[in-house]
Amino acid sequence: MSDWSKDAALRFAALLKTKQLQDARVIRDQNDLALTVAKTWADLCELFKVRCTEFNAEPDVAGILNCDTTRHQELKITRTDNAAMLRGTFDAKRHTIHFMGPNIGKEKAEIKIEVIAGGSTMRFVDNLQRKLDPQDIVDISLTDLLQLN
């Protein structure tokens, strides 16, 4: 073996090791992102559930809103008095939520879950690239469903 081949083999092995570590880091980061985005969706669903429970506890409206979150990537809220429905579906691959229901504006029909640059904090963004507060998403959606606007 020559000095060149020994040196080239060592450098090549080091290059392979570096690439393997980078690939592993990318996969880990993608998995972490997927888990964080899924948790952000689950937290939004929980917020919808809480708001529906709060509303149903008010006098004269008991049981009007039925919030179904039994499917992992779907949220369905129905009104028991007129069968109006708000449905949200989560696309884990595209990190988007699609809302369908009465009075859902075009800009709110698809909401993206994005990472805030330089961190791991998530945010919701509508089609016009406006930042949306989770509480506002819930309150506005339920207000629309109840036709209070």
- Domain boundaries, given as residue ranges, for the chain: 3-145
Q: What is the pLDDT of residue 148?
A: 80
Q: What is the pLDDT of residue 66?
A: 95
Query: Which residue intervals of the chain are DSSP H helices?
Result: 3-56, 106-109, 134-145
Can you tell me the distance from the alpha carbon of 56 to that of 58, in angstroms, rounded to the nearest whole number?
Answer: 5
pLDDT digits (tens, 9 = 90+) for 3-21: 899 889 889 899 988 888 8
Total residue length of the chain: 149
pLDDT digits (tens, 9 = 90+) for 79-103: 999 889 999 999 989 999 999 876 6
Q: Which of 137, 146, 147 shows the shortest CA–CA distance to 55?
A: 146
The count of C-alpha atoms lying within 13 angstroms of the C-alpha of 34, restricted to the half-sphere facing its C-beta, is: 9
Q: What is the pLDDT of residue 104?
A: 67
As given in the structure block, the two tokens for residue 57 are 């506890």
